[in-house]
Amino acid sequence: MKRIFCVLLAAAILGGALFTLASCDSSSPSTTSPSTAPSGTPTNAAPAAAETLICGVTEYEPMNFRDSAGNWTGFDTEFAQIVGEKLGMEVQFQMIEWANKFVELNSGAIDAIWNGLTATANEPDGTPRITLCDMSYSYMLNTQCVVIRANRAAEFTSTDDLLGKSLAVESGSAGEAKAADLVGDNGRVIGAAAQINTFLEVMTGAVDGAIIDLILAQQLVGTGDYADLAIADIDLGSEVFAIGFRTGDALRDRVNSVMRELYDDGTLLGIAEKYGLEQRLVLDLSFGQ
Task: Give the separation between CA 52 and CA 109, rounded to whole angstroms.
Answer: 12
DSSP strand pairing (89-95 vs 51-57): parallel
Q: How many residues does the chain have?
A: 289
Q: Which residues contact 44 (CB under 8 A, 6 or more apart)?
A: 35
Residues 255/136, Cβ–Cβ less than 8 Å: yes
pTM of the model: 0.81
H/E stretch holding 6: helix 2-23
On whether both 80 and 105 belong to a single domain, the answer is yes
DSSP strand pairing (281-284 vs 188-192): unpaired
Domain boundary (231, 252, 267) is at 231
Task: Estimate the crossing angle of helix 267-274 against helix 251-264, to 10 degrees.
Answer: 80
Burial (Cβ within 10 Å: 0-12, 13-18, ≥19) of residue 86: middle
Torsion of CA 112, 116, 117, 122, to 10 degrees: -170
In a domain, 111, yes or no: yes
In a domain, 17, yes or no: no
Alpha helices (H) in 114-250, listed in sequence order:
174-183, 195-203, 214-220
Domain boundary (214, 231, 248) is at 231
| Centroid of chain to Cα 124 | 22
pLDDT tens over the chain, length 289 residues: 434 333 333 444 334 443 343 443 433 333 333 334 444 444 555 556 679 999 999 999 999 999 999 999 999 999 999 999 999 999 999 999 999 999 999 999 999 999 999 999 999 899 999 999 999 999 999 999 999 999 999 999 999 999 999 999 999 999 998 999 999 999 999 999 999 999 999 999 999 999 999 999 999 999 999 999 999 999 999 999 999 999 999 999 999 999 999 999 999 999 999 999 999 999 999 999 8
In a domain, 38, yes or no: no
- Which pLDDT score is estimated for 289? 86
Phi, psi angles (nearest 5°) of residue 162: -95, -15
On whether both 204 and 251 belong to a single domain, the answer is no
Range of the domain at 66: 51-141+239-283
On whether both 83 and 158 belong to a single domain, the answer is no
Q: Which residues contact 89 (CB under 8 A, 6 or more apart)?
A: 50, 51, 52, 53, 83
